[in-house]
Chains A and B, each alone.
Chain A
Amino acid sequence: GEDVEQSLFLSVREGDSSVINCTYTDSSSTYLYWYKQEPGAGLQLLTYIFSNMDMKQDQRLTVLLNKKDKHLSLRIADTQTGDSAIYFCAVSGSARQLTFGSGTQLTVLP
C-alpha cells in the first residue's frame, strides 16, 4: 500500500522559515495535503495541492511538489510561536481514503 514518510521533529527560531518535508510512494495520488494539529485538538486542514501543480502559495505557506521524486514540502515563512504544532502530510489514494505520514513536531524557539 501507500507509504508516507516524514521526519518526526523540527526546531526553528522565531522569525526564521520552517521547511517540513514528506515523501510518498504512490505516484497516482491526486491530491496532497498538509494538516496541522495543535495540542489536544483534532487535525485542521492547512492547504492542499493538486497533483498537476508544482507550487501553491497561501500567505505564509508555500507548498512545493516534485512528482518525479515523490516529494512534498511545506514552507512556513516568518515562523511564529503559534505555529508550534504537529504537521501531517497526507495523500489521496485510489479509493476515497487518505494515507497520513507520522507527523512532524515543529517547535518554535523564542
Chain B
Amino acid sequence: DVKVTQSSRYLVKRTGEKVFLECVQDMDHENMFWYRQDPGLGLRLIYFSYDVKMKEKGDIPEGYSVSREKKERFSLILESASTNQTSMYLCASSFPTWESSYEQYFGPGTRLTVT
C-alpha cells in the first residue's frame, strides 16, 4: 500500500517566517508534486520533481521553492510567509509514466495558517 506522509497536519506561522513543509513517500516513486488547495479553485500545482535534485515550476511557483535531496522526500519552502499563502497544501507522488496510468497518490495535507 502506497503511503505518502506529510510532516504536519496543522501549522500556524507568522508573516515573514520561513516555513518548511515535508513530504515523504515509501513506494520508490520518481515523481513528486506539491499542490495548494483553496475553496472553489481546486488543486493548483506549485512545483514538481521527476528525480532527485530535479525540480520544475508548476502553475503558481511565486513565493515558494522546493528541495529534493533524496528520492523519497520532497520539501516545500515558503521563504517569507505571507497571509495569502494560508491554504491547504497537498503532496503527491506517482510512478514514471511508462510504468503507470499517471495516477497520483496523495498525502493527508497540511493546513497552513499565516497570521
A residues near B (Cβ < 8 Å) are: 1, 4, 6, 8, 30-31, 33, 35, 40-45, 48, 50, 88, 92, 96-98, 100-103
Contacts and interface: CB of A to CB of B under 8 A. Distances in A.
B102 A88 contact: no
A100 B45 CA distance: 9
Contacts of A6: 42
B10 to A, nearest CB: 10
Which of under 10, 10 to 19, 20 to 34, or 35 or more describes the interface residues of B? Answer: 20 to 34
Contacts, number: 58
22 contacts: A6-B42, A31-B102, A40-B9, A40-B109, A41-B108, A42-B4, A42-B107, A43-B106, A45-B105, A88-B42, A88-B43, A96-B48, A96-B50, A96-B94, A96-B97, A96-B102, A97-B33, A97-B45, A97-B58, A98-B102, A102-B40, A102-B42
